[in-house]
Chain A
């Protein structure tokens, strides 16, 4: 029974580069979430999709962060251009429907921007 998968697990980028993170949700889940995790801010919501439609685009993250859900089983998060403050763990999660059901988290991508 496959859980949420994320690739790559680690990414190192130079300042100003474009990076793309990938996520495959649990099969049959309708909703997908992207979070950024840091020690100071905890879990911050970046984007939220329901049945491939963007429901939440994370306000403060709009300008350089763009999440897409090309089909029900694959999502990407693009950061362009990267800045050192983007260094964090990026978590993808999926659920049957919204925030009122258990979220299954992927292993995360640890991004380091030099």
Chain B
């Protein structure tokens, strides 16, 4: 089955700087790549996603990049704020099945 590797597992950045999380996948049939944010005590919620017909997508301060050839995708959060502190999960989906990465704990330092 699909395997998704997510790095780093822990990330600390200064408020106002950028944060980047990287994921890689194995199954070339994967065509949908969502990102979920989970705040402490809350359930994961979709924040941005990208499909295989795109290479880049931006929603406000969130940017996702997809490199299908390298089977890698990444999330970049620009101008980080304290509210960005949370767990982030990437995922890869194809043929209806979805596989999640292990998660990145992002902490924004004031």
Contact = CB atoms under 8 A, between A and B. Distances in A.
Contact of A43 (B46, B89, B93): B89
Interface string A85-114: 000000100000111101101111000000
20 contacts: A31-B96, A33-B98, A35-B100, A41-B102, A42-B100, A42-B101, A43-B89, A43-B100, A45-B100, A91-B43, A91-B44, A98-B96, A98-B97, A99-B94, A99-B98, A100-B93, A100-B94, A100-B98, A105-B36, A105-B44
Chain B interface category by residue count: 20 to 34
Nearest to B87: A42
Contacts of A108: 43
Contact of B46 (A35, A41, A91, A102): A102
B41 to A, nearest CB: 9
Contacts of B100: 35, 42-43, 45
A112 to B, nearest CB: 16
Contacts of A99: 32, 91, 93-94, 96-98
Contact count band on A = 20 to 34
Interface stretch (A11-19, A48-56, A71-79): A48-56
A45 to B, nearest CB: 7
A45 B89 CA distance: 14
Contact of B103 (A43, A48, A97, A103): A43
Nearest to B46: A102
Interface in A66-84: none
